[in-house]
Each structure stands twice: as C-alpha cells, then as structure tokens.
Structure 1
Amino acid sequence: MIILHLCHFIGIDGQNRNPGKRVDDRIIKRWVYSGQLTPTAEFDSTGNVVAQFVGNYMIKNGNTYQLIADHLGSVRLVVNISTGEVVQRVDYDEYGSVIYDSKPDFTPFAYACGLYDSQTKLVRFGARDYDASVGRWTSKDPVGFEAGDNLYDYCKNDPINWIDPT
C-alpha cells in the first residue's frame, strides 16, 4: 500500500511571508518574522520554540550555532560555537539542488538563504517557491514581464553570474 502525505506551506501572510508548514491538514511548523523575509523564530506544532535566529546565528536546544553561508547566502556549514564542531554541511549544485546534507532539517535555511522543505525539495523565498531540480520558480514573477520574457526562469538561467531579487 502506498500512503501519500499532502505537504505544503500554509500560504502567505499579508506581507508575502510564509507563516508555516502543513502536512496532512496538520500544522507542523510555524515561523515568526522580523522584517520582510527574515524568520526570527521557528515553532513546532504545539507552539514550543524550536529555534531562534539572530543574524547568522541559530539558538537551538540550548546551543548557539553559526550559520556559514557562501556568496549567494546559501547555508553551507552550521558550527556549534562552543565546541567548534561542524554539525551540518550542505552542498548544492549550481541551480541549488541539495546534493549532500549531513543533517537534514537541522536548519530551515538553504540555497540563497531561502526556507528549504526537505519533503517537497522546494525553497521558499517570500511568496514564491523555487524548484532547483528544474531551475525554475513554481509561480510567475510578481513583477511580470519587467524582469524579462520568461516569468518562471531563475537568474536568467545563469545562477552563477546573476541573482534573483524576488
């Protein structure tokens, strides 16, 4: 027997932010934001704080970790600042697909500092999801054709040399 689990982000709030994640009609995770796209806390399904985020630091289970990112903002290493231990290492291909993750779901941040969902493999940036497996957004660019003639492409199909401000 195959069991399918319906997994998706709750939606977007009034400021185009992702307030949480729902699986099989049950909210399993929520985020609180500071500013437009910066989560400051993650909560579990019962409302308990799972992690807090301050700049490039994460406080989780009584430990403080530094999130080390590359030039795109992609989290590459998570280091316990008390011990110096690398507790998570993530490698991506040029379009942002996770090719190695030593501790999946330890931090919600991933490619270009978006919120990564390990079940759907999508990265949430504000109101849009990015599918790294095809190098495309899953919805149209909110600025319309102002950004070019392809409303779904990511970084003009050249993520090494361009950034996508949405």
Structure 2
Amino acid sequence: MSMSKGEKVTQFAVVTIALCAVVVSLWQGRISQRQLEIAVEHNKLTVKPYLELIKSIDGSEGTLEIMLSNQGYGPAVIKNVKLSHEGKIYDAWNPLLAAANEGNNIRQIYNYDPNSVVAPGVDRVILRLKTPQTNKGIAIVMTYESIYNELDSVSISF
C-alpha cells in the first residue's frame, strides 16, 4: 500500500518537528549549563576574601604598625604564614624580631595559626614596634583560601 501525497507531507512535517524539538532541547540544555556556570562564579565572588597587609608609620609616636585587613566578602582561612628576615625563615615573631634587633621594641604582636579564620571586614594589628626605622629587611607572606578552597596570598616587606 503506497502513501498518498498528503500522508508523505504529514510524515515529513512530523520528522522535521521532531528534529527541531531535539535541536531546541540541546540548545536549551547548553543555555542552562552556562547559566549554572555563571551562578557558581557569582557565588564564588560573593564570598571571596581579599586580604591586605598594610604598613603604617606614626612619626609622632615613633611606631611602625603592620595590619591585616580582610576587604573581601567572605572569610579567609589562613593556610600558612611565612616570616623572614634577610632571607632566613622564622616560625614566630619573637625569634625574627630578635634577629632584626627589634626584640626590645615590641609593643604588640599577633600570630595566626594554620586554619585560623579572618572574617570579612576584620582589621587586626599583627605587629606594632616602637621604632623610627622602617626598612628592617623583614618580609611576611600569608597564604589563605576561600570557602571554595581557592588559594591566594598576600605579602609585604618592610
């Protein structure tokens, strides 16, 4: 039994519509995937920490101050703090400052341990010295990560 011309046109239309539906579904799937990627990237940015080490000098009081500030929107998890004086690595402030002949000038120190959390908007003095001198050969490198496990670091030399 052969098909009439009307039946052939109908079958061709059905196949064409089915193929168009498949193409539209694939296209929509790709759009949905891209929207998900954008949403994930947006979520990461809304909780990204941004640590900053700031050096300030108060000439009237003769103090040097190093402050850690989280200017980002999310918490920073400290992974590692590397302290060095003239290339030699130290694990804490006291031996480093003794090597730099600044042990008697300590007014305030704060040590961050691994996995310490720095909340957004926090400003903390990590070192305050009573000294007029600003070039001490000291360097600080802090490695931290976001809650999405993205590593970053911040450093300062003075």
Q: TM-score band, normalised by the shorter chain?
A: under 0.3
TM-score (norm 1): 0.21
Bigger radius of gyration: 2
TM-score (norm 2): 0.22
Which fold has the larger relative contact order, with Cα–Cα distance below 8 Å and residues 6 or more apart in sequence?
2
More helix by share: 2
More strand by share: 1
